[in-house]
Amino acid sequence: MTELLIETPVREPQRIRGLEMPWNRVMGSTEAPARAARALGPWHPQEFMAECVETIPEAGGMMTLVFRRCDGAPLAFRAGQYVNIAFPVNGEEHEPVDRSYSLSSSPTEPWTFSVTVKRDPGGLVSPWVHDNVRPGTVLDMLGPVGAFHLPDADRRARYLFLAAGAGITPIMSMLRTIHSLPGTANVVVLYHGAEAGGFAFHRELAYIASVDPRVKVFYALGDRGRPEEWEGFSGRLSSAMIEEVAPDANGRQVYACGPEGYLNTATELLKKVGVDDTSIYMEFFSGDRKTLLEYQAEIALASDIAEEIAEEIADSAEDYYESQPSAFGLYEPGYDAEGTLKASGLPLEIVEPEAPSSEAGKGTSEADSAAPSPDASSFDTVGTGSLTLSFMRTGINVRIDPEEHILGAAQRAGVRIGANCKEGMCGSCKVVKLSGEVEMNHQGGIRKREIDAGKFLPCCSTAQTDLVIDA
């Protein structure tokens, strides 16, 4: 055992040339992407719900919130991008307040993702986030958004990362990404903070720098004085400081993030040390009006794209659901060719379509009058129960008892409704109710404005009347 502890010279790792993101070949491929790669796509903004799974206090008044998507999908993004999050700061009954936060995690670990939020005591949203977002909190998100990110492939991969204060968050995502990938790279980080104990992620930064020979990290305190034991730089960003940490700055791609004043200074200094404009990428963390308007335009565009993509996904949903492994058991008809209900082993009851009659209750007549063509009364009817669910796209009527959850009955009858948590949390089973009444006991998987728009979660809802459903 003891010889393990004897220090022997360690050889440098052998690495392939340059950096390449894992998804790069899929994107360049003319072939359809392989299944695993498809799971990690698409690489465009989407609207989705995410559940907080962990909160991690960080130095400098920051807090990292770790999320996972409620629909179980990974979040595909590029290191440096951000998400726009709707926070119900004024209560669930009021319009949420949107804010954008850079992703601080690496896209190479896409099953969870994090944002890191600095508490601004005078702000509206960040104190609410620190005080209210906890494991289990579900929030509406839009993303990924933003052109400030690492390239998908870079044969040279020489970077200078400049970060000030909370500007470290997208830089952290970039650094974590590079550290997680093979490939030759050369990264210098220069991180400015206002006080010695206020550098978020400093433990992880020290760890990465100690085990990854491709990475060097330097710290600098501003000009408000420094403690005696401080070993980093002091003073504001200067060209001498840049030249000291990266004498070859003009041969590097520079990514800089921080407050506006810091970035304006950085632009001047980088020019002075010979860095070409085309090698400089910046993300403003507090901007003037023009920057804020640019952000708003970016988010509006992302939202339009998300909407288009959602429509495309809805159009191809059938193919998608058919390609899902049947082991999930979510989309399979619950009856076989002989008409036996798999769950109960009972024969499937095929009920001849009935004309709306005097027997039918108020719900049915309302449903029928509201139902769009085709006419639900011509659909086959399956199952038993006192109420009827008409699924307009599937073209089937399902009989159900008032105490039975709608999702189970629908899926047994082969109606394709995606589902995940089955507890009203994730929102993935959300469908539109065209008419009728349901009783819903959800756990945050749907927002009030969606309910007002006629949506409901069939996994946690029971029918109160006959229903007509857009599924």
Shortest spacing between CB 421 and ligand FES, in angstroms: 4
- Does residue 417 bind ligand FES (CB under 6 A)? no
Contacts of 406 (CB under 8 A, 6+ apart): 389, 400, 438, 458, 459, 461, 462, 463, 467, 469
- Does residue 428 bind ligand FES (CB under 6 A)? yes
- Among 178, 429, 468, 471, the residue binding ligand FES under the rule CB under 6 A is 429
- Does residue 471 bind ligand FES (CB under 6 A)? no
For tokens 């003009």, what's the residue?
Answer: 250
Range in contact with ligand FES (rule: CB under 6 A) among 25-33, 352-360, 389-397, 425-433 = 425-433
Of 177 and 428, nearer to ligand FES (C-beta) is 428
Using CA atoms, how far apart are residues 353 and 247, in angstroms rounded to an integer?
81
Shortest spacing between CB 344 and ligand FES, in angstroms: 22
Shortest spacing between CB 461 and ligand FES, in angstroms: 9
Helix runs in 79-184, H state only: 126-132, 168-180
- Does residue 411 bind ligand FES (CB under 6 A)? no
Range in contact with ligand FES (rule: CB under 6 A) among 55-63, 216-224, 265-273, 416-424 = 416-424
- What's the N-to-C CA distance of the chain in angstroms? 64
Reading the block at residue 110, the tokens are 């896409």
- Does residue 302 bind ligand FES (CB under 6 A)? no
Range in contact with ligand FES (rule: CB under 6 A) among 128-136, 274-282, 296-304, 427-435 = 427-435
- Among 237, 445, 462, 467, the residue binding ligand FES under the rule CB under 6 A is 445
- Does residue 459 bind ligand FES (CB under 6 A)? yes
Using CA atoms, how far apart are residues 243 and 236, in angstroms rounded to an integer?
14
Note the residue count of the chain: 471
- Does residue 461 bind ligand FES (CB under 6 A)? no
Q: In this structure, what DSSP letter does residue 21 have?
A: -
313: phi then psi, degrees, rounded to nearest 5: -65, -40
Of 78 and 422, nearer to ligand FES (C-beta) is 422
Chain Cα centroid distance, residue 352: 46
| Binding residues for ligand FES, total number by CB under 6 A | 13
Range in contact with ligand FES (rule: CB under 6 A) among 37-45, 191-199, 280-288, 426-434 = 426-434
- Does residue 102 bind ligand FES (CB under 6 A)? no
Of 83 and 410, nearer to ligand FES (C-beta) is 410
In this structure, the strands spanning 280-286 and 253-259 are: parallel
In this structure, the strands spanning 233-234 and 438-440 are: unpaired
- Does residue 381 bind ligand FES (CB under 6 A)? no
What are the residues facing 438 on neighbouring strands? 463
Which H or E run contains 188?
Answer: strand 186-193
- Does residue 73 bind ligand FES (CB under 6 A)? no
Amino acid at 342: K
Amino acid at 94: H
Contact 202, 216 (CB under 8 A): no
Contact 242, 227 (CB under 8 A): no
Range in contact with ligand FES (rule: CB under 6 A) among 139-147, 252-260, 418-426, 432-440 = 418-426
Give the interface with ligand FES as residue ranges (CB under 6 A): 419-422, 424-429, 445, 457, 459
